[in-house]
Chain A
Amino acid sequence: MSDVIEPKIYGLLAEYDRPDPLIEAIKKVRAEGYTKIDGYSPYAVAGIADALGFIKTEMATIMLCGGLVGSTSAFLMQWWTNAIDYPINIGGRASLDVFEFLKSWPSFIPITFEGGILTCALSGVFGLIAICGLPRPHHPLFNANIFSRCSRDRFFLSVEATDPKFDLEATKALLATLSPMSVTEVPA
């Protein structure tokens, strides 16, 4: 355990009812030097993540690797079991002159493809859940009653108390200048 005293509050929430003022607010808060900030929206708004400077995600790479691993192992499985470990010759189609060593590779293609798709999808969804730190049914943000409208029709800017620049009064004052509908303290 560290000696850092747990902050009494999780952070501050500024409320908006449209995405555009939230994007503006994020840009200004970032310009002030805050780093532990996040935007919350009921649906995906590209501009919010852009304003936060989070442009590229790692998901495509994860899914690509997952797919390649899956399709390669699917092919090797078929090739090793049906052509090497227990070779069977079905209808004379044991091999094909093109790529002799791959044996009857055309008939292995369908499962290779399906295997790749399956692992790609699985790595995508499990990767997403893991990287986002989900499932997390109890997040401090849910302590703020007002946050329940985030899933409905409100957009929020959060500044976390762990931010080095965070100072309850000063940050609150800063947020108040960004024309929010309200500024709320979120208990930890």
Chain B
Amino acid sequence: MATGVLAHDGHHSSAPPHVEPLPVAIGGQHSMGSVCDAIGDIATCVKPHPKNWYIVFGIGFTLAAGFLVAVTYLLTYGTGVWGINVPTAWGFAIINFVWWIGIGHAGTLISAILLLLHQRWRTSINRFAEAMTIFAVMCAGVFPLLHMGRPWLAYWLFPFPNNFAMYPQFRSPLAWDVFAVTTYGTVSVIFWYVGLIPDFGVLRDSAPTKIQRWAYGMLSLGWRGSAYHWRRYEKVYLILAGISTPLVFSVHSIVSFDFAVSIVPLWHATIFPPFFVIGAIFSGFAMVLFLALPLRKWYGLEDFITDWHIDNCAKVMLGTGMLVSYGYFCEVWMAWYSHSLYEADTTWQRLFGPYGWSYWTLIFCNFIAPQVLWYRPWRLNPYILFVVCVIVLIGMWFERYVIVITLTREYMPSMWGRYAPTVWDWLLYIGTFGIFFTFFMLFVRYVPMISITEMRELLPKSAGGQDGHSIAEGPP
């Protein structure tokens, strides 16, 4: 279990005695067949689902019903039921939009960037992280749609030939958002599905019932594992990873442009694009661990999601947390250095104004709390780690809250105001958790949550695997 300094790079057979053992990517004694069974039987329901599945699904489904109530009420009475008003005209809608879409980014990061970096530890968590991405993007998309007030006219956002003789205003970051989020959602689904095709093939051949065999057979598109197909498949998968990496950066940069393009003090910060991207990865990894820790316990997947994976995710969280903290430092530092009247005063309002408590909550959640992860035994303690993840998720929500709340105190004191969400804001927000968990639990139930195909590559050669050679290491 120990992580060597150069852990993931060692493929050495004749290691000198002082070398620490390699980290474990797959625990236990698995063969190719047992990997298929261990993961596939969950999706085909051969292995019964634990009681907790029903509990979480039930809670999720209930909250999803709350979501429907909130949406119905909103559509009946209009966005006035929310707490938004001038000067804070976006409020919860944009906070939650940015929060959800940020969470989604870890899925793509794990799938794409870690693949390109030849990180073997991505393999067992990438599948459900990608699913998390898709559901998070769905939840995120809900908010701007509903904030429009008349969501049935959402197609006006897209350029299409029309008889109003009007086009979207492409110089607006809100128009960029439409394209960014649509592209991101589409590419995430594609990436996820392309990864799933061979796994559906596995389930087609192993599922116990005829309906399952038929359904998985259709979903697998008749994949039969031909070497010609594999070569093309690898290439496409690798390029998809290659383009998904800048896609993640661009999407959250564009989200940050929503703020940074304006000239509101503390919004117009040039560091916003990378700062937002890092924050997104930070919260996304917190969500990955938040989901992975219970899942691996309930489904007995300790052989596939080993301590090594958990440890690495926690390290990434710590690292991105430090970078986000650098962003907080930079904001205050530049406001002071510039000696610009408005920047400095708005910073003061942010730190010590009426909403100062939210700023210090954010500092506690995102900077102070993750510091416990420096200590390895705490990183590997699932309970401590779980609590830190929850704190980070709350902290990243507050980060967006702090940014949005800036509008209550900016240039002109006569324009200053307050912002408070209503019960309908909260119900809609909590309702999206319902959507998320409902879909996620259905995913766990019907789709292999770990890539069966790639896990078999990780097996040692003696068990028929490839000793952990990732897909990306093949020839051009």
Show the binding face of A for B, using Cβ within 8 Å. Answer: 17-19, 38-46, 48-50, 52, 54-60, 63, 67, 74, 77-78, 81-82, 85-86, 88, 90, 93, 104, 107-108, 110-111, 113-115, 117-118, 120-122, 124-125, 127-129, 131-132, 134-139, 141-142, 147-153
B202 touches A151 (CB 8 A): yes
Bound-complex Cα distance A59 to B117 (A):
21
Residues in chain A near residue B456, CB distance under 8 A: 42-43, 153
Check A54/B228 contact, CB under 8 A, given A110-B179, A118-B186, A124-B236: yes
B187 touches A117 (CB 8 A): yes
Bound-complex Cα distance A141 to B222 (A):
11
Residues in chain A near residue B165, CB distance under 8 A: 86
Residues in chain B near residue A134, CB distance under 8 A: 221-223, 229
A151 touches B204 (CB 8 A): yes
The segment out of B167-175, B318-326, B358-366 that lies at the interface is B167-175
B233 touches A39 (CB 8 A): no
Is B386 engaged at the interface, CB distance under 8 Å to the other chain?
A: no
B206 touches A81 (CB 8 A): no
Residues in chain A near residue B194, CB distance under 8 A: 125, 128
Bound-complex Cα distance A43 to B317 (A):
31
B187 touches A86 (CB 8 A): no
A54 touches B231 (CB 8 A): yes
Bound-complex Cα distance A131 to B239 (A):
17
Is B454 engaged at the interface, CB distance under 8 Å to the other chain?
A: yes
Bound-complex Cα distance A78 to B250 (A):
18
Contact with A along B238-255 (1 / 0, CB 8 A): 011001001100110110
Bound-complex Cα distance A139 to B183 (A):
34
- Can you report 30 A-B residue pairs in the complex whose CB atoms are below 8 A from each other? A43-B453, A46-B474, A49-B227, A52-B227, A54-B227, A77-B159, A81-B159, A88-B169, A108-B170, A111-B176, A111-B179, A114-B251, A117-B247, A118-B179, A121-B191, A124-B190, A124-B240, A125-B194, A125-B240, A128-B194, A129-B221, A132-B229, A134-B222, A139-B224, A150-B224, A152-B32, A152-B33, A152-B206, A153-B36, A153-B464
Bound-complex Cα distance A141 to B224 (A):
8
Nearest-neighbour CB distance to chain A for B75, whole angstroms, equals 29
Looking at B165, B239, B246, which has the most chain A CB atoms within 10 Å of its CB?
B239
Q: Which of B171, B187, B218 contacts A121 (CB 8 A)?
A: B187
CB nearest neighbor in B for A22: B227
Is B235 engaged at the interface, CB distance under 8 Å to the other chain?
A: yes
* Main SS at interface, chain B: helix
A110 touches B257 (CB 8 A): yes
- The A-contacting residues of B in range 157-204, CB under 8 angstroms, are 159, 165-173, 175-176, 179-180, 182-183, 186-187, 190-191, 193-194, 198, 201-202, 204
CB nearest neighbor in B for A118: B183
4 A-B pairs with the lowest CB-CB distances in the bound complex, closest first: A153-B32, A135-B221, A81-B167, A46-B474
A110 touches B221 (CB 8 A): no
Contact with A along B434-453 (1 / 0, CB 8 A): 00000000000000000001
B218 touches A43 (CB 8 A): no
Bound-complex Cα distance A111 to B166 (A):
18
CB nearest neighbor in B for A104: B171
Check A90/B171 contact, CB under 8 A, given A48-B227, A135-B222, A153-B33: yes
B36 touches A152 (CB 8 A): yes
Q: Which of B170, B180, B226 contacts A82 (CB 8 A)?
A: B170
CB nearest neighbor in A for B40: A152
CB nearest neighbor in B for A17: B464
Is B351 engaged at the interface, CB distance under 8 Å to the other chain?
A: no
Is B382 engaged at the interface, CB distance under 8 Å to the other chain?
A: no
Could you list 20 further interchain pairs (A-B, Cβ under 8 angstroms) beyond the known A38-B226, A118-B179, A151-B36? A40-B224, A41-B225, A42-B225, A43-B454, A49-B230, A56-B476, A59-B235, A59-B236, A67-B243, A86-B165, A110-B253, A111-B179, A128-B233, A132-B226, A134-B229, A135-B221, A149-B205, A151-B201, A151-B205, A152-B206
Q: Which of A60, A107, A128, A150 contacts B170 (CB 8 A)?
A: A107
Residues in chain B near residue A152, CB distance under 8 A: 32-33, 36, 202, 205-206
Residues in chain B near residue A114, CB distance under 8 A: 176, 179-180, 182-183, 247, 250-251, 254
Is B12 engaged at the interface, CB distance under 8 Å to the other chain?
A: no
Check A82/B228 contact, CB under 8 A, given A44-B471, A60-B239: no
Residues in chain A near residue B221, CB distance under 8 A: 129, 134-137
Is B339 engaged at the interface, CB distance under 8 Å to the other chain?
A: no
CB nearest neighbor in A for B32: A153
A63 touches B236 (CB 8 A): yes
Residues in chain B near residue A120, CB distance under 8 A: 239, 243
CB nearest neighbor in A for B184: A114
B231 touches A57 (CB 8 A): yes
- The A-contacting residues of B in range 292-323, CB under 8 angstroms, are none
Bound-complex Cα distance A150 to B466 (A):
16
Nearest-neighbour CB distance to chain B for A84, whole angstroms, equals 11
Check A150/B225 contact, CB under 8 A, given A111-B179, A128-B232, A132-B232: yes
Is B149 engaged at the interface, CB distance under 8 Å to the other chain?
A: no
Q: Which of B169, B186, B224, B230 contacts A48 (CB 8 A)?
A: B230
Bound-complex Cα distance A73 to B228 (A):
32
Looking at B36, B159, B232, which has the most chain A CB atoms within 10 Å of its CB?
B232
B254 touches A131 (CB 8 A): no
B170 touches A117 (CB 8 A): no
A38 touches B227 (CB 8 A): yes
Is B16 engaged at the interface, CB distance under 8 Å to the other chain?
A: no
Check A49/B228 contact, CB under 8 A, given A55-B475, A128-B233, A152-B206: yes
A43 touches B169 (CB 8 A): no
Residues in chain A near residue B345, CB distance under 8 A: none
